[in-house]
Amino acid sequence: MSAHSPDVAQGVHAPRAAPVARTILAAILGVLVAAGCFPGRTESTTLGTIGAGTAQLKVGLGFIPSVQFAPFYLADQAGYYSEAGLEAVFQNENDPNLITLVGQGAVDVGVADGTSVISAVAQGIPVRYVTTVYAQSPNVVFAKASSGIRQPADLRGRKVGTPFRGGSGWVMLQALLRSADLDIEDIDVVEFSDFGQRVAVERGVVDAATGFINNEPVQMERSGVPVSVLRVDAITPLPGPGLITGEQTLKGKRDALRAFVKATLRAMAEVAADPQKGLEATFARVPELASDRAGQLAVLEATVATWQSDYTRANGLGAIDEAAWTESVAFMKSLPGGLVARDVTVDQLVSEELLGD
Tens of pLDDT, residue by residue over 180-237, are 999 999 999 999 988 899 999 999 999 999 999 999 999 999 999 999 999 999 888 8
* Final residue in a domain of this structure, among 231, 253, 288: 231
Q: Which residues of 203-212 are buried (b: 16+ CB within 10 A; e: fewer)?
A: eeebbbbbbb
Domain assignment of residue 94, yes or no:
yes
Domain assignment of residue 191, yes or no:
yes
Tell me: do 213 and 268 sit in the same domain. Answer: no
Domain assignment of residue 270, yes or no:
yes
- For residues 128-151, average pLDDT: 97
In this structure, which amino acid lies at residue 81?
Y
Interaxial angle between packed helices 254-273 and 70-77, expressed in degrees from 0 to 180 and rounded to the nearest 10: 110
* Final residue in a domain of this structure, among 231, 248, 263: 231
Q: pLDDT by residue (tens digit) across 237-290? A: 899 999 999 999 999 999 999 999 999 999 999 999 999 999 999 999 999 999
Tell me: do 97 and 22 sit in the same domain. Answer: yes
Tell me: do 189 and 260 sit in the same domain. Answer: no
Tell me: do 65 and 129 sit in the same domain. Answer: yes
* pTM for the structure as a whole: 0.85
Specify burial of residue 297 (Cβ count, 10 A radius: 0-12, 13-18, 19+).
middle
| Boundaries of domain holding 123 | 18-136+240-349
Q: From residue 130, how far is each of 98, 215, 247 by CA, in Å?
A: 15, 25, 11
Tell me: do 108 and 244 sit in the same domain. Answer: yes
* Final residue in a domain of this structure, among 175, 208, 231: 231
The domain tally of the chain equals: 2
Tell me: do 202 and 151 sit in the same domain. Answer: yes
Sheet holding 242-246, edge to edge: 41-44, 86-92, 55-60, 109-112, 242-246, 127-132
Q: What is the CATH number of the domain that holds 169?
A: 3.40.190.10
